[in-house]
Amino acid sequence: MPSQDLTNHYLSQDATSLAAELARGEFSAGELLDVALSLVAARNPDINAVVNIQKDTARRHIAGGLLEGPFKGVPFLLKDLGAEAVDFPTSAGSRLWAGSQHSYDSEVYLRLKAAGLVTFGRTTSPELGVGAVTEAQAYGGPTRNPWNIGRTSGGSSGGAGAAVAAGIVPVAHGSDGGGSVRIPAASCGLVGFKPTRARLPEGPGAGEGWAGMATDGFLTRSLRDTAALLDCINGPDLGAPYFPPPMEMTFAESARRDPEQLKIRFATTTLDGTPIHPDCVTAVERTAKLLADLGHDVEPVTLDPGLNISDLMLAWTRVVACGTALSVRQKLAGKPLDPSLIEGVTRGAIALSHTLSGADYLESVEEIHAFGRRIARWFQGFDILLTPTLARPPIEIGALKPDNEDFIDYRNGPTGVFAYSPYTALFNASGQPAVSLPLFHNSEDLPIGLHLAARFGADCQLMSLAGQLERAAPWAATQQRLVDRL
């Protein structure tokens, strides 16, 4: 068993600090792995976030010599979706995929391995990553929010968010196809950054996810960890179908520099004018004042009904339905489907896909791309858009349980995913960089994430602004309060 002193120290540090101490020989990678495994045993039963643990594999990697990357020896978890790795089976959040083995390592995993990280397991995901909550039947129960176990940790990287917020690991892998890094970041009081489309590799198993809307990312407690991890995996892989605009500097360099004065516009409704929870309004107003105090040009945004957000959201739902159906078809490889092995939402996605033609799918992709052009024109009047990440504080377990077989209602209905998360998917569609920062807690001590989006390609500008906010309103002490009481 690891010493209590080492455990307490581990729980008080971000990954950057731990890596520096490992490099100085203050403790070993094996000792930190033992700490992380002991925390899984102690804390995971309450939150159900960590699965598919491969401790012997992790110890073998340590014994064989870790690569000399910036995070050498730091314990790490992959999301149980994507990030294919020979040594780490996945269930993709589904009983249909349970125990699936990969025959190759994804480029993302290879770059994370080159960073020196010690992967020892995976974190929970909703089935095939569809959802703003993580309540897949494959894991025997919902993943819960460490701030309040009656609330969701978000989705689809809900296990990663819960594991990092609980202190099990300082950082974890996630992916974001409609807010799936930023939603759990907001729910769990963490940092979640989605870079510009094509900054990060998708191959070799795929060139894009959901018509270019999906990307990888991380759940972290500190912005510098996010920036350094993004630098570790930055750059498209061979044969990528898209290529991003060049960056002026690294993510880490950007995070350390204050930005120039920016034109920042904020919204205290959804972008089609629908009211949101008062706690989310308060969070935006306080953040807007902070940004003004930092010298930025801050004003309420003038909403543009020409964005046609409802058309975009319906197109998004159709694309995801077709992608979900394709994944199931490829997994079955001609075998009949046992409907009990998949969630109601997945059955609904397949049913919707059967009503759509190839022309319908292409029309939906065209609408997504057209939305990107519309919002790019809108952003010509300002640099940054500030909103809450979600329209409400983290919702109760079961509120978006994935048993609704009406896929359009589950996603687009009045109590569906988009009503709860009306902001994040917009920037997956447009490909713009966006970040959720843990700048506010409500009277129930639930995190309220603040969402900032920049123009396409302006990752450095967005990261610099996030760094300025972290320095002006540090959140580490609030996160530590949770870690210490668990």
Which residue in 106, 175, 180, 187 is the catalytic one?
180
Q: 353 catalytic, yes or no?
A: no
| Residue 94 in tokens | 């589904």
- Find the helix or strand (DSSP H, E) in which 150 lies: strand 148-152
Q: Is 235 helix (H, G, I), strand (E, B) or coil?
A: coil
Q: How far apart are CA 188 and CA 174, in angstroms?
A: 14
Q: How far apart are CA 18 and CA 4, in angstroms?
A: 16
Residue 20, Cβ neighbours under 10 Å: how many? 12
Element (H, E) at 471: helix 459-472
Rounded distance between C-alpha atoms, residue 7 and residue 35, angstroms: 6
CA quadruple 398, 399, 404, 409: dihedral, nearest 10: -170
State the residue for tokens 């594999």: 57
Backbone dihedral angles phi then psi of residue 127, each to the nearest 5 degrees:
-55, 120
Q: Give whole-number Cα distances, 129 to 17, 175, 177, 257, 417, in Å.
A: 31, 9, 8, 34, 13
Q: What is the distance between the alpha carbons of residues 480 and 464, in angstroms, rounded to a whole number?
A: 24
Distance CA 187, CA 163 (A): 12
Say how many C-beta atoms besides its own lie within 10 A of residue 201's C-beta. Answer: 23
**Nearest-angstrom CA–CA distance, 174 and 143:** 15
> Does 180 participate in catalysis according to the annotation?
yes
Of 391, 452, 422, nearest to 263 by C-alpha is: 452
Closest to 113 in 3D by CA, of 63, 157, 158, 72: 72
Rg from Cα positions in the chain: 21
**Candidate list 91, 125, 156, 327, residue with the active-site label:** 156
Across 314-421, the runs of DSSP E, i.e. the strands, are 384-388
For residue 170, is the peptide bond before it cis, meaning its omega torsion is within 30 degrees of 0?
no
Give the total residue count for the chain: 486
| C-beta of residue 255 within 8 angstroms of C-beta of residue 230 | no
Catalytic (active site) residue 79 = yes
- Closest by alpha carbon to 436, among 71, 256, 176, 148? 176
Angstrom distance (rounded) from CA 210 to CA 197: 12
Beta strands 384-388 and 447-454 are antiparallel
- For the annotated catalytic residues, the residue numbers are 79, 156, 180
